Amino acid sequence: MLLAGIAEVRSAAPRLHQLANGGSWSAQLALARMGDPMAIRYVIDRVENSKDEVRRVTRALDDLAFIRQPEAVEVIIKYLFSDKSTPASPPDVGSVRYAYYAAKALEEIIEGFPAWIANTEAGVARARHWITQQLAPQPAAGQQTPATAQATRSGGVANLKIKR
């Protein structure tokens, strides 16, 4: 099913809709990858409303990356700028920041995204800086401020080239 989404096999859409209506997550992902607006919304809503925060940032961000849609990229970027962390489990392993998972997902799907420096503050800072630069409108010299960059994050995804 997922391959039908990757290859954008439009003739499979009616069967994928049947499977999605029957509860198939893979069918929803395939339809979303093909750009079906209802499937995109369903996938994003299910990820965002997941009660299991560890699954949301570990596995579900990968699902959002899979669908390769601008709306999903916006959600992943939200996690990149989060300072929240997963609970430590087991306690001796420690927690992992949401931003690490988000950067990994963005590296996979955004052309030109900086090579990921796994689990480092410098890597997160680099990823955040790069995204901020890409999403910000090109102001006149000296007019870009952190507040301007923050305000433009959600609207500038069109500036990013999403890998197909």
Beta strands in the chain (DSSP E): none
Q: Residue 39 corresponds to which amino acid?
A: A
pLDDT number for residue 92? 61
Contact 109, 68 (CB under 8 A): yes
**In the chain, domain spans:** 50-159
Q: What is the pLDDT along the chain (164 residues), one digit of tens a residue?
A: 899 999 999 999 999 999 999 999 999 999 999 999 999 999 999 999 998 888 888 889 999 999 999 999 999 999 999 989 887 766 666 678 889 899 999 999 999 988 766 567 888 888 999 999 998 775 555 554 554 444 344 457 888 999 98
Radius of gyration (C-alpha) of the chain in whole angstroms: 17
pLDDT number for residue 147? 44
pLDDT number for residue 87? 78
pLDDT number for residue 151? 39
Count of C-beta atoms within a 10 Å radius of residue 127: 25
pLDDT number for residue 152? 42
Which 3 state secondary structure label does DSSP give 87?
coil
Q: Which token pair is 130?
A: 């790069």
* Burial class of 146 by CB neighbour count within 10 A (0 to 12, 13 to 18, 19+): exposed
